Amino acid sequence: MDNAVALVCAMALCLAACADQEDGKQTAACDAQAPYAWLDAAHGSSVEDVTRGYGQLTLQRETATFGKGSFNALSSSYHTLLAPSVQALAGLPAWEDPSTPQQLHQAITAALERGVDPQDTTPALELWQQVQKNVLRFVALQVVANARRGSRADVDAAWALFGHGDGVALTGLSAEMHEYDTLLGVQQEPAAVEGLLVLRCAVVHEDATAAQDAASRVEDAVRVGVAYATARYFQRLASGTADRVQLVEGATWFGVVEPWMHHHGHATQAQQIRAWLDPLLPGGGRAMDLPDTAGAAAALNTMRTVFGLNI
């Protein structure tokens, strides 16, 4: 993403904003159209390491000299600020395997280890995509988990993790979703924001049913937003205009929606996409090849059908 320094500053502002607001200051007059106001005295501080860690990863990626030599710093940032939260991820949706937190940690650390290995020849940007998108998968799952738990502190944490900030400076997951919204002419990031604002008011009104409905809206918006991101790369691969870095990016995005497909009657389609992707990824038997356009086109059509995408 552009302007990495602004990204980290925006994260800090998102976590520090309204720090003088008293817990519970919002009343029955809560307006779901109003900008987000913190509900809890902690103001999202429970996820500060995660937002700071993601900001550090992004800053390190955007240095002019980024390459395999950058992975020692990336590894340090991940293990210091992000790994404890990734491994402690709880409150997973029903379609996620209980071992997902450990699988995510292993996928991220495997890419980092290849990055610091002087004998490994995988391009740095391919490994970066595996690190970043798996971190974003963790963030998406944590946003959903916090939204579903629905306490004031949890809702604040979901907002801070989503990274919408003041609606101008977007960071993290919200910035990624906004990027694909812009490319594809869709509105998934605003839909997630709307769900989070409605959720805030439901919590203020102590309406558990409305809170669960709003959490579902957030979850749906994020999932479809990620599906659009995945399909965008499959589209480019199908047209023959994508490189291997974009292949890995699309494949790792697919990993976010893949478990949902398995749990909702689309296991065969998910397996077909996975069978096409895996040999092409770092460590696979065709890891140096570009994908066949026919396989990419089939994967794109599957994403369109399963998620109702207009792409």
pLDDT for residue 6: 42
pLDDT for residue 148: 95
From the number of C-beta atoms within 10 Å of its C-beta (0-12, 13-18, 19+), residue 62 rates as middle
Record the pTM: 0.87
Residue 224 in this model has a pLDDT that exceeds 50: yes
Instruction: Please state the domain extents for the chain.
Output: 4-14+41-307
- Say how far apart CA 225 and CA 187 lie, in whole Å: 8
pLDDT for residue 80: 96
> CB of 234 within 8 A of CB of 280?
no
pLDDT for residue 33: 87
pLDDT for residue 108: 97
Residue 139 in this model has a pLDDT that exceeds 60: yes
Count of Cβ atoms closer than 10 Å to residue 27 Cβ = 8
167-195 pLDDT, tens digit each? 555 788 999 999 999 999 999 999 999 99
Residue 160: pLDDT band by 50, 70, 90 thresholds?
very high
Q: Please write down the long-range contacts of 275-279, taking CB distance under 8 Å and 24 or more positions apart.
A: 277/251
Residue 280: pLDDT band by 50, 70, 90 thresholds?
confident
Q: What is the mean pLDDT of the chain?
A: 88
